[in-house]
């Protein structure tokens, strides 16, 4: 079970705004927690945060990566009346933004507003049938004019939906930033458990930056290059398929509370997949399997091609309602994923051959 202190850290991490390119605040929360047990904690120029547990010094280096950024918005224009216009940071369905409360990271502190749209009473019948576009929306921050708005905001300021983590029954939580603040949490929790009973490997947990916009690999590519890892595990979320409208034939069967999801195929090293699967069976941890014929759309895609190749695997947490204001995961899955990853790291030694011969 996750400890009370780990749960408190998790909620602080989830509630701290940090869209891609603006991850500084949650990164500081992450590093402060890492400093309570890790031998070395640092940040890099890209925005990654890294924490190291040396192990006994005889094994290879393992990189655990979970991206700390979340999707958000960025201000593109403030009109004469003080209304704020924006474009997305990361992938939004504009329909979920309509009428949301927003929280901007202003230069003097947080600035709150609401997303506006023409009332349904004033819409023509054909307008009611159309989906909203980002360009149809604006944020009202309650000011009278542009001059007032510019006292607290400017073009280029970022924002997120203003919501807080909520507990639900059956050890489930809801948050806007589960993708993938959860991954950053799991890799640090796994490192904490590894530190309590270390093996031969030097293990580095990284809260990576800019994954949601990381078309060239984001911070994970930089981290994998910099730490000279021989093995890497990316931790991200995947689509839970235990709610209406999901096609298990296309996505697989991954249930909230059903344990972590291990990916096979694509960029995943068969050697590291087997290390994880064997560790799960040894610890009696349930898991499901995701098949990836091409890319994984996670940090794994960037890490496996670093330098002369890194043996990389992907562990995912089943997540309902991804890229929405209310993503949902099970705390049990986080706990199991952390234990699984720590155990897999302990099973690596200097003699581990990462080439699938």
Which H or E run contains 86? Answer: strand 84-89
Confirm whether 211 is a catalytic residue.
yes
For 305, the 3-state DSSP assignment is coil
Which H or E run contains 238? Answer: strand 231-239
DSSP β-bridge partners for residue 205: 51, 64
DSSP letter, residue 37? T
Which H or E run contains 53? Answer: strand 49-53
Query: DSSP of 153-203, one letter per residue?
Result: --TT-EEEE----EEETTTEEEETTHHHHHHHHHHHHHHHHHHHS--SSEE
List the catalytic residue out of 211, 212, 327, 343. 211
Q: What ranges in the chain are assigned the alpha helix state H?
A: 4-15, 24-34, 125-128, 146-150, 178-196, 218-227, 248-251, 270-283, 299-303, 331-346
Instruction: Extract the runs of DSSP E, i.e. beta strands, from 169-213.
Output: 172-175, 202-208
Alpha-carbon torsion 5, 8, 10, 16, what sign?
negative
Inter-residue contact 231 to 267 (CB < 8 Å): no
User: Catalytic residues, which ones?
Assistant: 211
């Amino acid at each position: 079970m996750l400890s009370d202190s780990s749960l408190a850290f998790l909620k602080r991490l989830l509630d701290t705004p940090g869209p891609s390119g603006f991850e500084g605040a949650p990164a500081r929360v992450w590093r402060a927690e890492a400093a309570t047990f890790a031998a070395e904690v640092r940040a890099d120029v890209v925005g990654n945060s890294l924490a190291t547990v040396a192990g006994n010094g005889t094994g290879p280096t393992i990189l655990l990566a979970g991206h700390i950024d979340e999707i958000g918005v960025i201000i593109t224009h403030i009109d004469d009346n003080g209304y704020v216009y924006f474009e997305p940071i990361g992938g939004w369905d504009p329909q979920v933004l309509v009428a949301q409360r927003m929280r901007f990271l202003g230069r003097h502190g947080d600035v709150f507003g609401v997303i506006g749209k023409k009332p349904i009473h004033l819409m023509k019948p054909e307008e009611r049938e159309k989906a909203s576009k980002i360009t149809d929306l604006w944020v009202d921050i309650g000011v009278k004019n542009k001059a007032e708005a510019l006292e607290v905001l400017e073009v280029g300021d970022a924002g997120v939906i203003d919501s807080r983590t909520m507990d639900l029954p059956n050890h489930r939580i809801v948050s806007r930033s589960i993708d993938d603040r959860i991954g950053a949490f799991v890799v640090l929790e796994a490192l904490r458990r590894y530190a309590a009973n270390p093996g031969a490997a030097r293990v580095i947990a990284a809260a990576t930056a800019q994954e949601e916009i990381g078309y060239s690999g984001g911070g994970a590519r930089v981290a994998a290059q910099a730490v000279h890892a021989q093995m890497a595990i990316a931790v991200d979320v995947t689509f839970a398929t235990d709610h209406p409208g999901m096609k298990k034939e296309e996505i697989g069967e991954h249930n909230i509370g059903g344990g972590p999801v291990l990916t096979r195929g694509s960029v995943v090293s068969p050697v590291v997949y087997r290390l994880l699967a064997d560790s799960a069976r040894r610890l009696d941890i349930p898991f499901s399997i995701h098949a990836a014929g091409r890319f994984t759309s996670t940090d794994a895609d960037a890490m496996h091609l670093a330098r002369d190749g890194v043996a990389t695997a992907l562990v995912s947490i089943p997540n309902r309602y991804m890229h929405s204001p209310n993503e949902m995961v099970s705390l049990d899955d986080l706990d199991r994923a952390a234990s699984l990853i720590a155990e897999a790291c302990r099973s690596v030694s200097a003699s581990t051959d990462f080439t699938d011969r």
